Amino acid sequence: MKNFVKCFVIITIIMVMTFFPVGKVHAIDLKQAALNGDSVAKAFAVVEKNSGRLIMAKNENERLPMASTTKIVTAIAVIENNDLTKTVTVPKAAVGVEGSSMYLKEGEKYTVKDLLCGLMLRSGNDCAVALALDTSGGIEEFAKLMNGIASKLKLTNSHFVNPHGLPENNHYTSAYDLAIITAYALKNKEFSEIVKSKNYMLSNGNTIINKNKLLSSLEGCDGVKTGFTKEAGRCLVSSATRGDATYICVVLSCGPMFEECAEKLNTAFNSLIMTDIISTNTPLCEIEVVGGEQKHVSLGLACVTHFPFTPDEAMSLRFEFELPPCVLAPLQKGEKIGKLHIYYNNRLLFSEDLFTMESIDLDYDD
């Protein structure tokens, strides 16, 4: 088995070197590029949406206030727990909330989607309160939904106590956590459609305009949220898609937030290529099966490993398999067994679950 694994790793690396289109981009040291950028942001992070790879960062795990970029978490929590077509009557508690506002009036009626667009396009703090109360019945109860998202994504540097991002004790995130939450949210169709909208007509006929000016100035920009308070400074989460790559940039406490996000997103697009390393039909390794009609089962990936790499990285990847010594029959196709770890310069880039590629019944004659 060890020889099989070694052989496969060598073949895989050769395949990457053969099919990676070297020459279309310039190989650069992304970490050095980030340092050379003289970022004025207190913290930032750039990740690729689907792989979750951290591309560039500064103080990415520091717990910081994030102002209205909080509403990214609010929006996805509402979308996952409410009906966007439902009509909401604006409660008194949502009227006159300080900060940016849609100027809702008590008793007015809007759909949940109307309020979500007011939340994400105009940054309405009143919309945030109305949505939280309608979804969960109370701010504290809604914050539990928000924290549940961070917990589900296994993030440890985020905690939410309100739906709008106004300053409050114990309300914080990190640039990295917020980027991962945004990547998660952007995989939701309703969320992604809302945040890339330059304008939206409310059910009452009024039109609202998105505050995110990168939607008009940055190629491929498709979201997501601005933010500002005195405590948090200027904050921005931006995403852009070009071809089959989507990168997300978070800057916290950054004066030139639009310029920094645009520069970092362009650097990512100009420096990396999304590459299929291993197809879903490729057996990666075998593992011994005890008590089965077959003595070994092949393991592979459940989906195409589509990762962002520089040319230099693609030529120097190392693959490691984390496997038990054996498994017991019976086995169903698609059972999760072990992991594949992909390294560059002894630094872990990705880990992917390995799955059985076939079913194996018990050997009753054994």
pLDDT at position 9: 39
Q: Of these residues, 39, 49, 58, 71, which one is catalytic?
A: 71
Distance CA 231, CA 154 (A): 26
> How many residues would you count in the chain?
366
pLDDT tier for residue 279 given thresholds of 50, 70 and 90:
low
Q: What are phi and psi of 7, to 5 degrees?
A: -60, -45
Least confident of 185-199, 275-289, 349-363: 275-289
**∠ at Cα 168 (165, 173), nearest 5°?**
55
Judged against a pLDDT cut of 50, whether residue 107 lies above it is answered with yes
Over 60: is that where the pLDDT of 17 sits? no
pTM value is 0.83
- The predicted pLDDT at position 36 comes to 43
Could you give the CA distance from residue 342 to residue 336 in angstroms, rounded to a whole number?
A: 18
Domains of the chain (ranges; CATH) run: 2-22+276-356 (2.60.410.10), 30-271 (3.40.710.10)
Does 71 qualify as catalytic in the annotation?
Answer: yes
Q: What is the distance between the alpha carbons of residues 150 and 232, in angstroms, rounded to a whole number? A: 20
- In the set 51, 68, 158, 253, the catalytic residue is 68
Within a 10 A sphere around the Cβ of 92, how many other Cβ atoms? 9
pLDDT tens digits for range 198-212 = 999 999 999 999 999
Q: What is the average per-residue pLDDT within 233-259?
A: 97
The pLDDT > 70 percentage for the chain reads: 88
> Given this model, what pLDDT does residue 96 score?
96
- Taking residues 355-359, what's their average pLDDT? 95
Distance CA 228, CA 89 (A): 28
Catalytic residue, from 39, 100, 123, 271: name it: 123
How far apart, in whole angstroms, are the C-alpha atoms of residue 78 and residue 117? Answer: 12
Least confident of 74-83, 147-156, 278-287, 288-297: 278-287
d(CA 237, CA 166) in angstroms, rounded, equals 17
pLDDT in tens, 312-339: 887 788 889 999 999 999 999 999 999 9
Decide: 289 and 360 in contact? Cβ < 8 Å: yes
- pLDDT value of position 238: 98
Written as one string, the DSSP assignment of 13-25 is: HHHHHHHS-TTSS
Which residues, 6 or more positions from 319, have their beta carbon under 8 angstroms from its beta carbon? 8, 9, 12, 13, 340, 341, 342, 343
